[in-house]
A and B are shown apart, each in its own frame.
Chain A
Amino acid sequence: DSGVTQTPKHLITATGQRVTLRCSPRSGDLSVYWYQQSLDQGLQFLIQYYNGEERAKGNILERFSAQQFPDLHSELNLSSLELGDSALYFCASSGRLAGGIGELFFGEGSRLTVL
């Protein structure tokens, strides 16, 4: 158990809909990372937050947005869903920021299926 909690574990929805994925980091970790993993693209970095502020952005679509709240949990919002958005979405947390990235602790993921 990594200590990172993601909900929901599974989600099935239709094209055009909007969903919210939630992540609670390990106790004390200030950094939260979001990744998308699909079969053909591997683990793709989406976005990173540190103590409520966005710190790094990857290949995140404009239809996707995220935020980190004062209690450090984070949400990833996916809107106008397309079939290609079907993937596993992972959240990870880390305690370190200065000088580089330490190890990431990953949650078990949220599997999104868009029909």
Chain B
Amino acid sequence: SQKIEQNSEALNIQEGKTATLTCNYTNYSPAYLQWYRQDPGRGPVFLLLIRENEKEKRKERLKVTFDTTLKQSLFHITASQPADSATYLCALDGGRNTGFQKLVFGTGTRLLVSP
């Protein structure tokens, strides 16, 4: 069955360090992979999108890698700040098999950045 796995345990890091979050998937062939940030009780906010033929994407302090062979994406926040504390969700479209129009989310990883 199709699965998107993100570490359910919270990631605790110190301010200034690099946070690395992992997203693994099985039985998907996505055309895109997206990352969102969600604060408690709020709607997810889009951060980055990476295509299947792209290895890496950057935006300010954020970096995403996408390895379709390993079926894994890594999400990095460099020089992390307490304001980066939130839950980070990865999302895949259904791809050629399930359909491009479904965007399916992982359960997210909570990041806590302490001063």
Residues on A facing B (Cβ under 8 Å): 2, 4, 31, 33, 35, 41-43, 45, 48, 50, 55-56, 58, 88, 90, 92, 97, 99-109, 111
Contact = CB atoms under 8 A, between A and B. Distances in A.
Contact of B104 (A31, A45, A55, A88): A45
- Binding site of B, secondary structure by majority: helix, strand, loop or mixed? loop
Contacts of A104: 34, 36, 44, 46, 103
A43 B49 contact: no
A106 B102 contact: no
Report the contact-size class of chain B (Cβ under 8 Å from the partner). Answer: 20 to 34
B115 interface: no
Interface of B: 31-32, 34, 36, 41-46, 49, 89, 93-94, 99-108
Contacts of B31: 99-100
Given A100-B31, A100-B32, A103-B34, A33 B43 contact: no
Contacts of B107: 41-43
Given A48-B102, A58-B102, A104-B103, A90 B49 contact: no
A41 B34 CA distance: 19
